[in-house]
């Protein structure tokens, strides 16, 4: 198929590469041109210098960083009005439920199809084409893009016809990730206050009750006190928790645990974790308990 791909960060790059590798004709655009040119020279994608030139063909994928970038390109930048008639736009980004709703409306007004397809998985998983991909939108549109999505995903998880559902689920999932990390951080500090080492505690938990990727990845980082470079950057974790809170508030859903996460993440940022991984929530728990101070 003839497709466009907009947004070539670590995730977008890996996903677009899989489309190219599967034999599709992929036109790529990225804000900083280097990423697109690299895809062109290495894999044979076609790099273009403006997003509207990628918005031609049957399907447009986008994986922009956040709400702001998505708004700038599609709404303020006018890309919505430059898309080929009949195109399906598949948005893989983690954006707000409110923006997903707005985009769905704007596409509908113009006779374009909009599919939300956010993903769970890190860049290496994306490169392997093994993402878990949530998919929500009109049935016919999804059927059309399914072969493309299957080149990127280990499994597609259908979430119904309203695109924002996939976004709500993605945010709920990221909320659960941050919850798990906060829980592990608080529990570790409790154990440490009784003289048990963080690594002993974390090894126990992540090889028994919590032998799942989230606990193992962030637990390892905590045990090793290795918070840079970030895998999941703490400011992005705060952004996602706040988007989950917004989604919850819009539908009047109290989420007291999300509120605790928000405060801990803000406290982390106030205390030097701007460039760190979410695992640095452990630092917040330590500082509250003054673990360093008491060792002396």
Q: Do residues 182 and 172 make contact, with C-beta atoms less than 8 angstroms apart? A: no
Judged by CB under 8 A, does residue 99 bind its own copies?
no
Query: If we measure between CA atoms, which residue out of 135, 134, 65, 144 comes closest to residue 112?
Result: 144
CB nearer to its own copies: pick between 163 and 230: 163
Judged by CB under 8 A, does residue 236 bind its own copies?
no
Closest separation between CB of residue 186 and its own copies, Å? 5
Q: Which secondary structure element, helix H or strand E, spans residue 99, and what is its range?
A: helix 97-109
CB nearer to its own copies: pick between 4 and 137: 137
CB nearer to its own copies: pick between 47 and 178: 178
Judged by CB under 8 A, does residue 98 bind its own copies?
no
- Residue 277 is given by DSSP the state B
CB nearer to its own copies: pick between 20 and 168: 168
Q: Do residues 102 and 95 make contact, with C-beta atoms less than 8 angstroms apart? A: no
> Which segment (66-74, 144-152, 184-192, 223-231) binds its own copies by CB under 8 A?
184-192
Out of 2, 170, 220, 296, the active site residue is: 170
Q: Do residues 143 and 118 make contact, with C-beta atoms less than 8 angstroms apart? A: no
Binding mask 268-287 for its own copies (x = CB under 8 A): -xxxx------------x-x
- Integer Rg of the chain from CA: 21
Judged by CB under 8 A, does residue 104 bind its own copies?
no
Binding mask 191-220 for its own copies (x = CB under 8 A): x-xxxx---xx--xx--xxxxxxxx-----
CA–CA distance, 15 with 148 (Å, rounded to integer): 10
CA–CA distance, 286 with 264 (Å, rounded to integer): 12
CB nearer to its own copies: pick between 1 and 98: 98
Q: Do residues 161 and 136 make contact, with C-beta atoms less than 8 angstroms apart? A: yes
CA–CA distance, 220 with 214 (Å, rounded to integer): 10
**Using CB under 8 A, which residues numbered 144 to 163 contact its own copies?**
157, 159-160, 162
- For the question of residue 170 being annotated catalytic, the response is yes
Q: Can you tell me which of 32, 251, 295, 296 binds its own copies, judged by CB under 8 A?
A: 251
CA–CA distance, 92 with 153 (Å, rounded to integer): 12
133: β partners: 119, 156
Closest separation between CB of residue 251 and its own copies, Å? 4
Return the structure tokens found at 66. Answer: 């956040």
**Using CB under 8 A, which residues numbered 13 to 72 contact its own copies?**
none
Q: Can you tell me which of 93, 223, 244, 276 binds its own copies, judged by CB under 8 A?
A: 244
CB nearer to its own copies: pick between 105 and 200: 200
Q: Can you tell me which of 8, 48, 168, 278 binds its own copies, judged by CB under 8 A?
A: 168
Return the structure tokens found at 137. Answer: 């939108």
CA–CA distance, 64 with 13 (Å, rounded to integer): 11
Closest separation between CB of residue 142 and its own copies, Å? 15
- Cα of 121 vs its chain's centroid, Å: 8
Q: Can you tell me which of 14, 165, 222, 230 binds its own copies, judged by CB under 8 A?
A: 165
Query: If we measure between CA atoms, which residue out of 50, 8, 47, 13 comes closest to residue 28?
Result: 47
# residues near its own copies by CB under 8 A: 77
Give the residue numbers annotated as catalytic, written as ranges: 170
């Amino acid at each position: 198929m003839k497709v466009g791909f907009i947004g070539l960060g670590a995730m977008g790059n890996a996903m677009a590469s899989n489309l190219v590798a599967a034999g599709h004709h992929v036109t790529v655009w990225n804000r900083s041109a280097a990423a697109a040119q690299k895809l062109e020279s290495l894999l044979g994608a076609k790099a273009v210098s403006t997003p509207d030139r990628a918005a031609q063909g049957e399907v447009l994928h986008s994986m922009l960083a956040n709400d702001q970038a998505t708004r700038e390109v599609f709404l303020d930048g006018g890309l919505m009005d430059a898309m080929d008639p009949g195109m399906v736009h598949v948005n893989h980004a983690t954006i707000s439920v409110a923006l997903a709703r707005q985009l769905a409306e704007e596409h509908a007004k113009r006779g374009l199809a909009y599919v939300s397809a956010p993903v769970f998985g890190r860049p290496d998983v994306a490169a392997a084409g093994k993402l878990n991909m949530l998919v929500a939108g009109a049935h016919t549109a999804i059927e059309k893009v399914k072969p493309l999505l299957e080149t990127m995903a280990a499994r597609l998880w259908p979430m119904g016809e309203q695109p924002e559902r996939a976004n709500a689920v993605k945010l709920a999932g990221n909320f659960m990730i941050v919850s798990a990390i906060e829980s592990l951080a608080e529990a570790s500090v409790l154990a440490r206050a009784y003289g048990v080492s963080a690594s002993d505690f974390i090894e126990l938990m992540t090889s028994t009750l919590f032998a799942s990727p989230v606990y193992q990845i962030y637990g390892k980082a905590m045990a090793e006190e290795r918070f840079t470079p970030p895998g999941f950057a703490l400011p992005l974790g705060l952004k996602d928790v706040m988007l989950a809170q917004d989604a919850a508030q819009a539908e009047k859903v109290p989420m007291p645990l999300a509120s605790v996460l928000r405060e801990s993440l803000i406290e982390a940022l106030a205390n030097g974790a701007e460039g760190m991984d979410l695992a640095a929530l452990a630092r917040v728990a330590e500082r509250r308990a003054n673990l360093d101070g008491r060792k002396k």
